[in-house]
Amino acid sequence: MKPPSFAYEAPEALDDALALLDRHGDDAKVLAGGQSLVPLLNFRLARPARLIDINGVPGLASISERDGTISIGAMTRQRTIETSPLVASRAPLLAAATRWIGHPPIRTRGTIGGSLAHNDPSGEYPAVLLALDAQVRIRSQRGERVLGIDAFLGEWLSTALGPDELVIAVEIPIGSKHATYGFAEVAKRHGDFALAGVAARFTLDGSHIGDARIVAFGGVARATRLTAAEDAIRGRVPNETLFGEANRAATAAIDPISDLHATGEYRRHLTGVLVVRALRQAFGEA
């Protein structure tokens, strides 16, 4: 469990980091919190010739609000997000979900940019950011682009990032004041990757459900919107019968994998249960 040898760079300016990525992108890896990358190196599952450590690059770790958007720098630690008053008031779903990531020591190192770029299908952040309709700000020497989260996320650990590109920030629209959310997951132990999880954000339209974004994760190729469940509840009055409909629509729509931790059948069932739990969190035991 020792990595093969690699070159190590620690740029101290964003431009330097981008220049290094431009030159070495194909056989380089960005090192952020290292909580996913270092185990991969030690198991020799990733064998980059060069690591570009961006921990010393200034300006990538702030949380700010502007024009109805919360912007979170890529190098912001999960622990900072968990304890940020701004996140708690403007994006409470993100704050709530962060507590489910690993354990405090991991969250103290792990970053939101790393979580997104790694895109573990059982990770909380891709799912939550999809539920929140976030944008991902990406930069390379070629320039800057902003991608919707849905377009950013690929299947099974892949993303739309090019080898020379760096995630700079995640931008979350604050949206309607009349919003509510639900987050629920089942893991084998506290802090483990989810067997199944649901992150959901809703708006309220009087006593009716307005917009609904319900995302399943865990055992599926990527964080997945449960559109049939969303359609089933949009514009309707929340109650247990409706939640039951959402459960059925959700379970009919997904087909999770079986692995050593759970069967696909169980994960599917859990997803339905968790959709109901997320709805109850959002609307109370209706």
Partner 1 sequence: MSANEGWIGRRVQRREDLPLIQGKGRFAADLTMPDMVHMAVLRSPHAHARLLGVDTSKARELPGVFDVLTSADLDGIGEFPVLWQLPGQKASGIPVLARDKVRYVGEPVAAVVAVSRYVAEDALELIEADYDPLPTVVDVESALKAGAPVINEAWGDNVAIRHIVPGIDATGKAGDIDGAFAAADAVVKARFKINRFSGVPLETRGLVASHDPLTHGLTLWSSSQVAHKQRTQLASVLGVPESSIRVMTPNLGGGFGVKWDCYPEDALVCLFSQRLQRPVKWIEDRREHLMGTVHAREQVQELEAAVARDGTILGIRGKIWADLGAHIHSVGIGPAWVTGVSLTGQYRIKNYYCEVIGVATNKVPSSTFRGFGGPEATFATERLIEKAARAVGLDPAEVRRKNFIQPDEFPWFSAGGGVFDSGNYPAALEKALEEVDYDHLREEQAGLRAKGVYRGIGIGCYIHTSGFGPSFILGLVGYNTSGYEGSSIKVDPQGGITIYTGMIPLGQGTETTLAQVAADQFGVDFNDVRVVWGDTSQTPYTGFGSAGSRSNVAAAAILKAAEVVRDKSIRIGAHLLEAAPEDVVYENGGVQVKGSPEKRLTLGDVAKAAYLAHNLPKGELPTLEGTYVYDPAMFTIAFGCHVAVVDVDLETGEVKIVRYVVVDDSGTIINPLLVEGQIQGGVAMGLGGALLEEFVYDENGQLLTTSFMDYLLPSIHEVPHMELHQQVTVSPHTPGGFKGMGEAGMFSPGAALANAVSDALLPFGVEVDRMPITSNLVWSLLPKS
Which residues contact partner 1 by CB under 8 A? 1-5, 39, 43-44, 186, 188-193, 195, 260-263, 266, 269-270, 273
Cα–chain center distance at 146: 16
164 lines the binding site for ligand FAD (CB under 6 A)? no
Map the footprint of ligand FAD across residues 207-226, applying CB under 6 A.
Answer: none
Question: Residue 74 binds which entry of partner 1, ligand FAD, none, with Cβ cut-offs from 5 to 8 Å by kind?
Answer: ligand FAD
Q: Which is nearer to ligand FAD, 123 or 182 (CB)?
A: 123
Separation in Å, CA 111 to CA 7, 61, 173, 232, 249: 22, 9, 20, 35, 34
Between CA 269 and CA 66 the distance in angstroms is 40
Between CA 279 and CA 198 the distance in angstroms is 10
128 lines the binding site for ligand FAD (CB under 6 A)? no
Choice from 18, 166, 184, 220 touching ligand FAD (CB under 6 A): 166
Choice from 17, 20, 32, 149 touching ligand FAD (CB under 6 A): 32
Cα–chain center distance at 87: 15
Nearest Cα to Cα of residue 169 among 42, 72, 270, 32:
72
Q: Which is nearer to ligand FAD, 84 or 180 (CB)?
A: 84
Between CA 120 and CA 103 the distance in angstroms is 17
For ligand FAD, the binding residues (CB under 6 A) are 29-37, 74, 101-102, 106, 109-111, 113-115, 117-118, 120, 123-125, 161, 166-167, 191, 193
